[in-house]
């Protein structure tokens, strides 16, 4: 079947099992060329397995996967020439500088000495690493390493880049660095598949998001669409005296849906109020509580977290906890 020109990645009903663990159970999605697709899901959802199938590191049991126009099963070599995966070349040489690592990698990919140098310079410039690139890799922060690692993979310009949880374990500043890198890739027309456990990350970077759980796609859309399904922003209100919760509820009037009110158990200490207007809803809530003369211990505007998304989509907040068999959750961490 011919594939539309503008589709960079197409996955159709892919299954993959490891013995009795069904890692992928009929996963399907697509990513248009030049876009960032966020793949969101908890530990064990099947993110890494999906990325490994698409980058030809493992074969699907059944189903079809096309990357940059090539079938991963029948044309794996062509797929490999069109992609880049982080961590694949994680063996950066600690004694060499970032620049030398990129040059070395260029030589390994068949560039001559001059071309490798030119390419390394361009990449370091592009990713704002020109100065740091001179120092040995051994002194780099985790975030810097990851950027050099990604730069190595860009020596030969790929059509599709897979980033598997590129910011897990990084501090916020390094995370920011990886984010701007993803934006730079997109600006060059490269298609990026980014797996993450953080809704915020998918939110900032992705054109489209798929949420996967237990090896299938359980929701897809833009981040706004997903948030709308999750109920959008809400305001959390904590009165100084928990026994005043019902007074707070009264003061809020129509701002508090009946369902949220009836959720209040005897031990409740906080109230969640939908805040469709964001900060302006927050200030209206504050105004009403203030005129009722109630003291607050805390009030905050919250956006839905990944947990909220899962709670809404699956009805339970920690899908990973229930995964059978036990061996699956104690198995090697492949992320
Ligand atoms: N090589 C393997 N052998 C056995 N089980 C595996 C293997 N790779 C992944 N799994 C299992 O498949 C499921 C999906 O794993 P994975 O794709 O790594 O999830 P994620 O990256 O979303 O955390 C998990 O239950 C995991 O334990
Ligand atoms: Mg993983």
Q: What is the structure's pLDDT at 86?
A: 61
pTM metric for this prediction: 0.73
Test site for ligand 1: of 27, 210, 323, 334, most ligand atoms within 8 A of the Cβ = 334
CA distance 61 to 15: 6
Strand partners, 160: 83, 191
44 CA from centroid of ligand 1 (Å):
6
80 CA from centroid of ligand 1 (Å):
22
Q: How do the pLDDT tens digits run along the chain, 335 residues long? A: 567 779 999 999 999 999 999 999 999 999 999 999 999 888 899 999 999 999 999 999 999 999 999 999 999 999 998 998 665 445 788 899 999 999 998 888 788 999 999 999 998 888 778 888 889 999 888 888 888 888 887 887 899 999 998 888 878 877 888 888 888 889 889 999 999 877 788 888 999 999 999 999 999 999 878 877 776 788 999 999 999 999 999 999 999 988 888 778 888 899 989 898 889 999 999 999 999 999 999 999 987 766 677 677 766 554 443 333 333 333 334 44
Question: Which H or E run contains 195?
Answer: strand 191-196
102 CA from centroid of ligand 1 (Å):
31
Q: Which atom of ligand 1 has the smallest separation from the CA of 331? A: 27
197 CA from centroid of ligand 2 (Å):
9
Name residues whose C-beta falls within 8 Å of residue 157's C-beta, 6 or more positions apart in sequence: 188, 190
The bound ligand whose nearest atom lies closest to the alpha carbon of 16 is 1
Pair of tokens at residue 280:
């302006």
90 CA from centroid of ligand 2 (Å):
16
Instruction: Name the residue at shortest CA distance from atom 5 of ligand 1.
Output: 18
* Residue carrying the six token digits 């590191």: 57
* CA 4 to chain CA mean position, Å: 26
Pocket of ligand 1 (CB under 6 A): 18, 21, 23, 41, 43-49, 323, 328, 331, 334-335
Q: Write out the E strands in 179-225.
A: 191-196, 208-213, 216-221
332 CA from centroid of ligand 1 (Å):
8
Instruction: Name the residue at shortest CA distance from atom 4 of ligand 1.
Output: 18
277 CA from centroid of ligand 2 (Å):
35
Test site for ligand 1: of 48, 54, 198, most ligand atoms within 8 A of the Cβ = 48
Instruction: Name the residue at shortest CA distance from atom 24 of ligand 1.
Output: 44
180 CA from centroid of ligand 1 (Å):
29
The bound ligand whose nearest atom lies closest to the alpha carbon of 168 is 2
- Buried (b) or exposed (e) across 222-257, using 16+ Cβ within 10 A? ebeebbeebebbbbebbbeeeebbeebbebbeebbe
Q: Which atom of ligand 1 has the smallest separation from the CA of 329? A: 27
Instruction: Name the residue at shortest CA distance from atom 2 of ligand 1.
Output: 18
Q: Which atom of ligand 1 has the smallest separation from the CA of 19? A: 4
Three-class DSSP category at 231: coil
Q: Which atom of ligand 1 has the smallest separation from the CA of 58? A: 1
Q: Which atom of ligand 1 has the smallest separation from the CA of 328? A: 27
CA distance 112 to 106: 8
């Amino acid at each position: 079947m011919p594939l539309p020109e503008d589709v960079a990645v197409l996955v159709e009903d892919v299954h993959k099992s490891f013995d009795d663990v069904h890692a992928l159970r009929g996963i399907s999605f697509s990513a248009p060329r030049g876009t960032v697709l966020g793949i969101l899901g908890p530990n064990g959802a099947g993110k890494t397995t999906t990325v490994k199938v698409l980058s030809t590191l493992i074969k699907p049991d059944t189903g079809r996967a096309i990357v940059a126009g090539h079938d991963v099963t029948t044309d794996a070599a062509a797929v490999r020439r069109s992609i880049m995966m982080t961590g694949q070349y994680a063996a950066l040489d600690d004694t060499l500088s970032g620049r030398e690592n990129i040059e070395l990698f260029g030589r390994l990919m068949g560039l001559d000495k001059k071309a490798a140098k030119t390419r390394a310079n361009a990449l370091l410039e592009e990713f704002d690493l020109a100065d740091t690139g001179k120092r040995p890799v051994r002194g780099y922060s985790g975030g810097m390493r990851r950027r050099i690692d990604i730069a190595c993979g860009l020596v030969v310009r790929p059509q599709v880049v897979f980033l598997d949880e590129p910011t897990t374990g990084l501090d916020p500043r390094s995370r920011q660095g990886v984010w701007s890198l993803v934006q730079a890739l997109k600006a060059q027309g490269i298609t990026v598949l980014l797996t993450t456990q953080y809704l915020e990350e998918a939110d900032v970077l992705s054109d489209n998001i798929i949420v996967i759980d237990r090896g299938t796609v359980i929701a897809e859309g833009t981040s706004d669409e997903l948030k709308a399904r999750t109920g959008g922003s809400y305001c959390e209100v904590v009165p100084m005296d928990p026994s005043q919760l019902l007074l707070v509820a009264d003061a809020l009037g129509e701002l508090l849906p009946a369902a949220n009110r009836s959720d209040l158990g005897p031990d409740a200490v906080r109230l969640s109020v939908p805040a469709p207007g964001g900060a302006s809803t927050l200030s209206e809530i504050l105004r009403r509580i203030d005129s009722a003369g109630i003291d607050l211990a805390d009030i905050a505007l919250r956006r839905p977290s990944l947990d909220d998304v899962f709670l809404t989509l699956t009805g339970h907040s920690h899908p990973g906890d229930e995964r059978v068999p036990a061996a699956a959750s104690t198995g090697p961490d492949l992320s």
